[in-house]
Amino acid sequence: MNTPSALFVDLYELTMAQVYYDRGMTGDAVFELTVRELPKNWDYLIAAGLERALMFLETLRFSDEDLAHLQSLPQFDRRFIDQLREFRFSGEVWAPPEGTIVYPGEPLIQVMAPLPEAQIVETAMINQIAYPTLVASKAARAVDAAAGRPVIEFGGRRAHGSEAAIEASRATYIAGFEATSSVEAGRRYGIPTTGTMAHSFILAEDDEASAFEAFVSRYPATTLLVDTFDTATGVNNAIKIAKKYGQGSVGAIRLDSGDLRAEAWQARIKLDTTGLPDVRIVASGGLDEYQIAGLVEANAPIDVYACGTSIVAPPDASTLDSAYKIVEYDGRPVAKRSPGKPSIGHRKQVWRADDHDLVGRFGEPPSADAEALLRPMMVSGQRTTHGQETLELIRRRAGVARGPRRVLIDPSLID
Amino acid sequence: MNTPSALFVDLYELTMAQVYYDRGMTGDAVFELTVRELPKNWDYLIAAGLERALMFLETLRFSDEDLAHLQSLPQFDRRFIDQLREFRFSGEVWAPPEGTIVYPGEPLIQVMAPLPEAQIVETAMINQIAYPTLVASKAARAVDAAAGRPVIEFGGRRAHGSEAAIEASRATYIAGFEATSSVEAGRRYGIPTTGTMAHSFILAEDDEASAFEAFVSRYPATTLLVDTFDTATGVNNAIKIAKKYGQGSVGAIRLDSGDLRAEAWQARIKLDTTGLPDVRIVASGGLDEYQIAGLVEANAPIDVYACGTSIVAPPDASTLDSAYKIVEYDGRPVAKRSPGKPSIGHRKQVWRADDHDLVGRFGEPPSADAEALLRPMMVSGQRTTHGQETLELIRRRAGVARGPRRVLIDPSLID
């Protein structure tokens, strides 16, 4: 699993770090990554992306090539280059485990390290955590909307590059999706892979019935795509082939366009009346959680929902509004007061009680029933066992009842 | 430069390919990637991403590890695995060169290859081209809005992973951005890198004036971030330091919050009246092309615009509505007729004339003044010189007058 290179950094992090070293400002700093506001209509977030962030920190080294490039820039002197040659992330990281339900203002990651170390990793921390958290949270909304019906992901082509595609598959699986179409995500993360057929397959064959037969004779429980020419005819062709090849040959049909509720009903009735009640109906085609909820409410006989674009690059939230901010330096709390974008000082802990969360000071729990959400994921630059969980465990953690929650801020944080 | 692995494929592309091989359906196919519709208010697209797509095709090999994983899946037999072991992309690729202005319906890439080869690369082609094209097009809108003022990119943290971040920097540079904050993008693509300072730098020092001095004494022509506590005081502190260290010490101040026009005017007047007319003003903070246009129109004295989120993950267009569709197989045109999502058969060429484009048949130009937009980028699986251009050349190509255009479809394409 490749993590970003050590040069995956904004220039200013390095110029700041050089000044920190020059001035001996290597005291411990605490930085926290938090989401400022939820996208419209969202009630919660699902934390994701921590694993790659921790791996980045654990393996972060400036290679000779990295250093040669930095030396070619005007900003850096020999001494700093030598410091980077020895650079290791030596700090401590606390975070809610992946799959935890979290809310704005609650740290997604908390980095405690000598100031230059905590500063240099800023871009990578935001970049590696914000996107998986965005996708897991959006995907959870689709799972919630589907109300128990399986949802699968096939958005790889729509994601912003191949890394995004693969991490999106992982994030959707955490949120409760059943499978992905991505073979690489399946290999890397052990996610079940699934697939149907493309319109091109039918077009290359030209005759839809022959194309169906070619697939059904090759793969058991095939899913047939029925809308290339005319959906009603497509369903008829699928039924013909299912009859010819017998039970279990056709596992499902897929509808990818048109009025999905009407098409699904017409198909369901035909399938049932021709003795094929076990053939399932898969729906796709730009589906998001709102459309899924609408179809579920309208009682559309759809057994599986397949999502792509809306989940891997959510149109209603192209990013999460997040920030990685210093909250303590050398034992004192710090906060900025920029108009509209203030930050809150102090190293924090999130205390989860039955009916609310309290974002409070790190340390003793405010009450006996309060659970600390942030756990030690890394100590002295090494991952703890908390930071090395199986994907199945993470997925189970996310599979709790999900919804809005009252989040209180300890007033003593705001000096 | 890493390209995606051979397993960066949707499962169905491989199950379809296996059937193609089984049935001897290895005739030549033509697939085209086109954008169906522009995002709201957009007038044009800038083609980008081709280089990595071509490198993917040229180096595509199924490694032993790839094949071992495929063998572990239930779908694939020994014969197919052996075919993949020998798999090379042997086809031809035509495309508009990167940096070309293009419109919906005009192919961004055209792949001609034996059917299984053209099918297997579907996910990678869409994934590698659509996002850079999205970002280049969005970035060009910001450049247009800035009307000659430099625009710089520092969106790495907001992009969907590190690959997206680096490719976004390249795409913005193609569109006319002047620099990026990403050190890795600077190394990989030779893009000028730039940077200022973060709020954390000032907070760690606590005293803003000392923080400014630490930076100015270290780096010439520094940009000082003045809004951490109070912008008016920040500007005063910047002026004090600029006076102390003399001309050229402070290159610019950066405003990152508040009413940017008002803040810029107040800062400009102070700078000018204290004899610092050469200190420039950089504005940032969630800026998109609409806000830039508003500031430019309102005559805000802002010299440089810095953009992040709005460009690398555009809120108005989280993806491009694109499709990779088969248009010919074995010499005959093919098209699907799915409701609302039809495709147009025939291998195409885009003929650009003075006042319009014609999407027509591949072959002879319709008129003497028509320029063919699609060029041969790859022949027999090898890149041509067209497919290996410098980034500066690509950037110059994009730097033409950009705007809407009449696009005609040759009626003979629609049978």
Asked if B199 lies within 8 A of A154 by C-beta distance, the reply is no
Is A5 part of a structural domain of the chain?
Answer: no
Query: Tens of pLDDT along B295-319?
Result: 999 999 999 999 999 999 999 999 9
End-of-domain residue from the set A312, A344, A372: A312
Rg (CA), chain A: 25
Query: Tens of pLDDT along A288-308?
Result: 999 999 999 999 999 999 999
Residues A181 and A45 in one domain: no
Of A179, A97, A102, nearest to A402 by C-alpha is A102
| A37 touches A104 (CB < 8 A) | yes
Residues A50 and A97 in one domain: yes
How confident is residue A254, by pLDDT bands cut at 50, 70 and 90? very high
Residues A195 and A222 in one domain: yes
Q: Is A36 on the interface with B (CB under 8 A)?
A: no
Is B185 part of a structural domain of the chain?
Answer: yes
Asked if A336 lies within 8 A of B22 by C-beta distance, the reply is no
| B363 touches A231 (CB < 8 A) | no
Cα atoms in the Cβ-side hemisphere of radius 13 Å centred on A33: 33
Lowest mean pLDDT among A63-67, A172-176, A198-202, B340-344: B340-344
Q: Cβ of A138: how many Cβ atoms within 10 Å?
A: 29
Phi then psi for residue A306, to 5 deg, are -115, 125
- Give the closest of A206, A309, A336 to B319, CB-based: A309
Residue B135 DSSP SS3: helix
* Parallel, antiparallel or unpaired: strands A348-352 and A151-153: unpaired
Residues A92 and A191 in one domain: no
Of B108, B121, B122, nearest to B36 by C-alpha is B108
Residues B225 and B76 in one domain: no
ipTM: 0.97
Side chain identity at residue B320, one-letter code = L
End-of-domain residue from the set A281, A312, A343: A312
Query: Tens of pLDDT along B326-378?
Result: 999 999 999 887 777 778 899 999 999 999 999 999 998 988 889 999 999 99
Is A3 part of a structural domain of the chain?
Answer: no
Q: For residue A241, what is the domain's CATH number?
A: 3.20.20.70
How close does chain B come to A364, measured CA to CA in Å? 26
* Parallel, antiparallel or unpaired: strands B348-352 and B356-361: antiparallel
Q: Interhelix angle for A162-175 vs B162-174, to 10°?
A: 140
Report residue B333 as tokens.
């045109």
Residue A337 pLDDT: 78
Is A4 part of a structural domain of the chain?
Answer: no
In chain B, the number of structural domains is 2
Is B4 part of a structural domain of the chain?
Answer: no
Query: Tens of pLDDT along B393-411?
Result: 999 999 998 999 999 999 9
Q: For residue B353, what is the domain's CATH number?
A: 3.20.140.10
Residues B293 and B150 in one domain: yes
Residues A258 and A365 in one domain: no
Residue B364 DSSP SS3: coil
Residues A162 and A292 in one domain: yes
Residues B282 and B321 in one domain: no
Chain A CB contacts of B203 below 8 Å: 326, 329, 334-336
Asked if B122 lies within 8 A of A198 by C-beta distance, the reply is yes
User: What is the C-alpha to C-alpha distance for residues A26 and A30, in angstroms, rounded to an integer?
Assistant: 12
Nearest residue on chain B to A213, alpha-carbon basis: B19
- What sign does the CA torsion over B131, B134, B137, B143 have? negative
User: What is the C-alpha to C-alpha distance for residues A300 and A294, in angstroms, rounded to an integer?
Assistant: 9
Q: In what order do the strands lie in the sheet with B92-95?
A: B332-333, B321-329, B28-37, B109-114, B92-95, B375-379, B382-383
| B139 touches B78 (CB < 8 A) | no
Residues A168 and A86 in one domain: no
Is A405 part of a structural domain of the chain?
Answer: yes
User: What is the C-alpha to C-alpha distance for residues B37 and B320, in angstroms, rounded to an integer?
Assistant: 8
Q: Is B331 on the interface with A (CB under 8 A)?
A: no
Residues B171 and B306 in one domain: yes
Of B13, B117, B136, nearest to B75 by C-alpha is B13
Residue A386 pLDDT: 85
Q: Cβ of B411: how many Cβ atoms within 10 Å?
A: 8
How close does chain B come to A96, measured CA to CA in Å? 20
How confident is residue B415, by pLDDT bands cut at 50, 70 and 90? low
Query: Tens of pLDDT along A125-155?
Result: 999 999 999 999 999 999 999 999 999 999 9
User: What is the C-alpha to C-alpha distance for residues A31 and A118, in angstroms, rounded to an integer?
Assistant: 7
Is A289 part of a structural domain of the chain?
Answer: yes
Asked if B15 lies within 8 A of A198 by C-beta distance, the reply is no
Asked if B15 lies within 8 A of A219 by C-beta distance, the reply is yes
Residues B276 and B352 in one domain: no
Helices and strands (H, E) in chain A, number of each type = 15, 19
Structural domain containing residue B247: 146-312
End-of-domain residue from the set B312, B339, B374: B312
| B146 touches B282 (CB < 8 A) | no
Is B140 part of a structural domain of the chain?
Answer: no
pTM of the model: 0.97
